[in-house]
Amino acid sequence: MVRKTSDIIFDFIVYFSLIFSCICILFPLLYVVSVSLTPYAEVIKNGGFMVIPRKITFESYILFFKESRLPRAYMVTIFITVIGTFLNLLFTTTLAYPLSRKNLPGKNKILFMIFFTMLFSGGTIPTYLVVKFIGLLNSVWAMIIPGLVNTYNLLIMKNFFANIDESLFEAARIDGAGETRVLVQIVLPLSKAILSTIGLYYGVAHWNQYYSAIMYIDDSDIQPLQIVLRQFLAGSENDITKYNPDIEVAPESLKMTAVILTALPVLIVYPFLQKYFTQGVMLGSIKG
């Protein structure tokens, strides 16, 4: 089959656009990795701009873990992400499932009250006072409980459950299954896509936790990773971010190392969930 000249030109434009987009995406990543692995002398010699380092050193990584609060912040953020995401999925699922059933009494009123919170919130000060009143200040739970259920994620999951074939529920009830058994043995196994998608939403939000930590956390021992990173990049973490002739690590290398160590876990996890991501969002948005 002879291809038309217009088809060849079109393919060329498409491939050129894809290659150009990949370069634009990969170049900043390559720059960050290169600077984090570059010795101090090389950074100074090249004016702070490195794409492919001639020499490689891991001193910035060693010094980062040795001198900063990063290891402790990592543990706090991992705890918030794992436990917080689990609780988010637990409460979102148990609320979305009954709302997806047509025979739920007062369903429309409940959905209206939930949707209302997407348009109007209580405000920063009232939310802070509630968190303070229930004793969550300076606690990791202050970064988990106030955002236990996200309305947007709840509606997506509710719509996904509503799209499951009703005959499956009827057959399970005929066999004597209760609602809890139906949810655990029928709904959840069929909902891997939406659970992975919503879990990714919640997990990334917890991993990037910043605003809640600023609002509710004063204790430096339980500050999450993003707060410590911000202090590090602002130069207020400790003296290793400033010029020191006794060390052979450039401040720029330390900063790029901080960026890599912060983004790396998300980059590792995302490829395993990517196949569920688009499927879960599309299936959860077919009907309301």
pLDDT tens per residue across span 155-196: 888 888 888 888 888 888 887 878 888 888 888 888 888 888
What's residue 81's pLDDT?
92
Rounded to 5°, the CA angle 167-172-173 comes to 100
Q: At which residue do the structure tokens 């009830």 appear?
A: 173
Rounded to 5°, the CA angle 14-278-146 comes to 130
pLDDT tens per residue across span 76-130: 999 999 999 999 999 999 999 888 888 888 888 888 888 888 888 777 888 888 8
Band (283; pLDDT cuts 50, 70, 90): low
Domain ranges of the chain: 5-13+15-60, 62-283
Which pair of structure tokens corresponds to residue 235? 């130069």
5: helix, coil or strand? helix
Q: At which residue do the structure tokens 């499956």 appear?
A: 168
CB 85 within 8 A of CB 148: no
DSSP assignment of 148-176 = SS-HHHHHHHHHHHHTS-HHHHHHHHHTT
Residue 187: CB atoms within 10 A of its CB come to 20
pLDDT tens per residue across span 219-246: 888 888 888 877 766 664 444 444 444 4
Under CATH, domain 62-283 is a member of which superfamily?
A: MetI-like (1.10.3720.10)
